[in-house]
Chain A
Amino acid sequence: MFSWDLLANAVVAGLLLGGFYAAVSLGIGLVFGLLDIANIAQPAFLVLGAYMSFVLNEVWGIDPIVTGVLLTPVFYLIGAVVYRVYYGSFERRGDEGLRGLVFFFGILFILEVSLSLKFGVDYRLVQAEYIGRSIEIAGVGIAFRYLIPCVMGIAMTATLYLFLSRTFYGRAIMAVSQDQGALRLMGANPVQIKTIAFGIGIAAASLAGALLITITPVVPSTDRDYIGRMFAITVLGGMGSIGGTLAAGVILGVIESLMATFFGPSWAPAVSFGILLLVLAVRPAGLFGR
């Protein structure tokens, strides 16, 4: 049953998966980790992004990742609108806790049900020239459909990190998470900054969704598997630490891959939630917590 070859393959697959998980979790890391907006609907936007890639791939044969990039402005706008509704209905009244949570849960449900109304519950996948290919290094196979999302995930993490630390709006987002009043005194509008951050979070879901459907076929209920992963990674990474998100993504990826290899893939969904429960109970600040 056990062999070093199998272990090496599982670890490499897990590392590659980890880069992709980081891409998936960046949006929630930004919105929930930094701004404390409990956007439970994020995984549904991820799956929406995957389905958009599927549609454009099916109709015009466009590469899924190109679709993901092209649609980021659309997702950004959707995100901005959702945040404005959220702000107007809950945050301004200081009512964001319970009802805000229910609001996002409702959006998640609406998106999931709408997708299954439109596309049914069959698995959907995309075609691209590189999806079937792989290379082999020292007996360890590396599939391109994992390698490309991993590289994209690392690139997205780096971009977001640079954006947050080097640009005006990025620094303003960091500032909003620390002290809204002070930011207002500096002449910036916290609501506007948060709208931008939320838009970026949803836009990231468009790209991550394209990566998702490159890796594996998607059904409307796929979002449920990612609720646990996203929040586990964000909490494990330390709420809003961008580098921590990547590290936590890789940790989760490797553990899931080992579980799938040695115990069977049906246990994989429990891993992330198990980690989440454990981290919340033992060290709620996460690995790289503030």
Chain B
Amino acid sequence: MRRAGWPLLIGVAVVVVGIAIASLRANPYLYFAGYVILQYIVIATAWNILGGYAGYVNFGTPAFFALGAYTAVFLIRSVKPPLPVLMLAGGLVAGLLGLGIGYLTLRLRGVFFSIATLALSVVLQTVMVNWEYVGGSRGLSVIRPSGPPFGNYVVFLFTIMVALAVFAVLVARFIERSWIGRGLSALRDNEEAAECMGVPTLRLKLFATTVSGFLLGLAGAPFPYYVTFIEPNSAFALDYAVNALAMPMIGGTTSWIGPVIGAVLLGSAQQLATVTISSELSLLIVGVVLVGFVVVAPEGILGLIRRLRGR
């Protein structure tokens, strides 16, 4: 019991530090950039629950993320509930989509699953482009609610993201350490064999896709308030799909800390490159680093560390 309590304590500590940073009133850009990196921690962790633990590569990350964002936009336009309700709704809708994707795995494995998720992203984007109520192809301005609980609104969103990142990492860590994680890695290595040994593969896959979708939707829901303008091309950007798989690949996919390492390194590198050089060049760096890592260090940074220790 005491051992199990540690990660929670550390999580709470991180949130407290986050709030402390938020109350520092440092350069506002730092919060802006910090939000993006924290958002990537959530996205990479969520992707890794399905991609790293279960071995199903999801190229459709933007679909879940944007579904969370657009659920929020729909609610903002219709009833304007407070942010936690928006996030919960975004997470639930994206989680439902994840459940649907999970049933798809019954017939589609490997490459076909990945292409189908990519397909899903394009179909959803087309729907949003044609749906005028949430902005259509021209997009929609979103007005932030006045008077956040503390600080200014960006600082408030930053704090929310700190909590969300801690939550996502704790969920991933719990899954990894429990029988669910062992079952998932069994089906990743050999699905037929796992099924024969009595691992409930379908239920596990449905669990993984739903949780992964839920977390991605949670991460997407505050996005409209963060950018204050929602538009299909930015909400469904391919950057999310690439980053979502590049970050765990670079950090290491077998452990919860891998996506965090990848997201912090790659996320900060991108923010730096965007400011100092250009945003396109920062994306190019992501692509090159991704390809370099899968070719040279397929186990990611964690694998490199393990190899060094082994010697």
Residues of A in contact with B (beta carbons under 8 Å apart): 32, 38, 40, 85, 89, 95, 97-99, 101-103, 105-107, 109-110, 112-114, 116-117, 221, 224, 227-228, 231, 235, 264, 266-267, 269-270, 273-274, 276-277, 280-281, 284
Contact = CB atoms under 8 A, between A and B. Distances in A.
Contacts of B119: 228, 273-274, 276-277
A195 B190 CA distance: 29
Contacts of A270: 122-123, 126-127
Contacts of B16: none
B104 A281 contact: yes
Contacts of B280: 113, 116-117
B245 A105 contact: yes
A116 B239 CA distance: 14
B271 to A, nearest CB: 17
A89 B107 contact: no
A95 B241 CA distance: 21
Contact of A110 (B126, B288, B298): B288
Interface of B: 51, 55, 57, 59, 104, 107-108, 110-112, 114-116, 118-120, 122-123, 125-127, 129-130, 137, 238, 241-242, 245-246, 249, 280-281, 283-284, 286-288, 290-291, 294-295, 298
Contacts of A276: 115-116, 119
Q: Which 10 A-B pairs have the closest CB atoms?
A: A273-B119, A106-B291, A110-B287, A270-B126, A38-B111, A109-B287, A106-B290, A89-B295, A113-B284, A113-B283
21 contacts: A89-B294, A97-B111, A98-B55, A99-B249, A99-B294, A101-B114, A102-B57, A106-B291, A109-B286, A110-B284, A114-B284, A221-B238, A224-B122, A227-B122, A266-B126, A267-B126, A269-B122, A269-B126, A274-B119, A280-B116, A284-B108
A266 B107 contact: no
A280 B108 contact: yes
In the complex, which of the residues B104, B111, B123, B295 has the most CB atoms of chain A within 10 Å of its own CB atom? B111
